[in-house]
Structures are given as C-alpha cells and as structure tokens.
Amino acid sequence: MLAICKLNEKTYLKWSQFVEPYLKGKGRLSHVLGTGPKRGDPTVEEWDKDDSMIMSWLWDSMNLAISDTHMFLTIAKEIWDSICRTYSKACDAAQVYEIKVKTSATKQGSKTVIECANSLKNLWQELDHYRVSEMKCLKDIAVLKNFIEKDRVYDFLAGLNPEFDQVRVQILGKEETISLIRVEES
C-alpha cells in the first residue's frame, strides 16, 4: 500500500481517511471491520492469506515506533482497533487546539485568495471531524451552524493581505457575510 501519509501521533485522521477507502477499493475493508468468514468456512484459508497481506499494508503505513507496538497482533482487525483506540479520540483536545492555532495563523501571504480559502477549508473540515454537535433541536443546530460559518468568514477575512482591506470593510458592513465562503468555494 502506498501510504501518502504515514501514521504517527498526529496524523491519525488523515491516515485513516486514506486507508479506509484504499481497503474498500481493494475489496478488503471487511478485514478491519471484522466481518470475515466463520471457522470451518471453506474461504477461511484465502481470508487468512488476505488478512496477512492487509496486516503488512497497515504496518507499512505507520511510522516504525507505532508499527513495532502492533507487530504481535494476529489479525488486521486487532491492529485497526488498537490504532483507533489509541489515536482516534485520545488527542481530541490537543488536535482541536492545534487546528485552531493553524486557522488563526493562516494568512494569505503569497498565496492566491482561492489557495488561502482552500487551506482554511481543509482545516475546518478536519475541525468538524473532531467537533461533532450532539444537539437535538433543529433550530439550535441552525443557530450554531450560522455562528460557526460567521466565525469562519472572520478567520478568512483576517488572513487576507492588506490590499483587501477595502473589500474586508465592505463585507463586514453587510448582514449576510456567510455567502462569501460559499461563493469562494464554487
């Protein structure tokens, strides 16, 4: 497996977002989901051979320290579950903080406006992964979503170069600033 992003202490989200579709595309996602054949099934031997290959893929997609700690697990699902338990939620607060620092520090600089917006959008998508709202009331969800979108417009505007000061003032003077990001995305 060609790992675009090797798993380390900080890359779980990107790593898992690469590995899952890769395994699914190879028809092997069921190995990490644990939906293999039962003992006695004639396909167990083939399944076991495939599982060994997937274990090797997983180890190869991790940095050495992490793969070493998972080397003695016996099936791909054990490796997957251990990685998920260790890295998926354990670092939420630290990850959210790190992403918020990056969004605040994102400046246009030599990038185009589109490149700057795309950098922020990528960070926001990652942030959304860690911050899942458990609200039940649709009205409250809409209010929160509106608040978050306005906050993101402010992040975007704050990162623009000084030559956009006049545009920034005009946008902030309007009631509906949210459409800016939507227009920027299209």
Query: In the structure, what pLDDT confidence band is assigned to residue 185 with cuts at 50, 70 and 90?
Result: very low
User: Which residues are CB-contacts of 128 (< 8 A; sequence separation ≥ 6)?
Assistant: none
Domain assignments of the chain as residue spans, ordered by start: 12-88, 92-185
Q: What is the CA radius of gyration of the chain?
A: 22
pLDDT digits (tens, 9 = 90+) for 135-154: 888 899 899 998 999 999 99
Number of other residues whose CB lies within 10 A of the CB of residue 30 = 17
Whether the CB-CB separation of 58 and 79 falls below 8 Å is answered with yes
Give the three-state DSSP class for 107: coil
- What token pair was written down for 152? 């993101």
Q: Please name the residue that has the structure tokens 């809409």.
A: 142
Among residues 102, 104, 82, 105, the alpha carbon closest in space to that of 94 is found at: 102
Give the three-state DSSP class for 7: strand
Q: How far apart are CA 17 and CA 5, in angstroms?
A: 10
- What token pair was written down for 4? 């675009």
Cα distance between the two ends of the chain: 33
Indicate if the pLDDT at residue 32 is higher than 70: yes
pLDDT digits (tens, 9 = 90+) for 82-136: 999 888 865 578 788 999 999 999 999 999 999 999 999 999 998 888 887 778 8
pTM equals 0.62
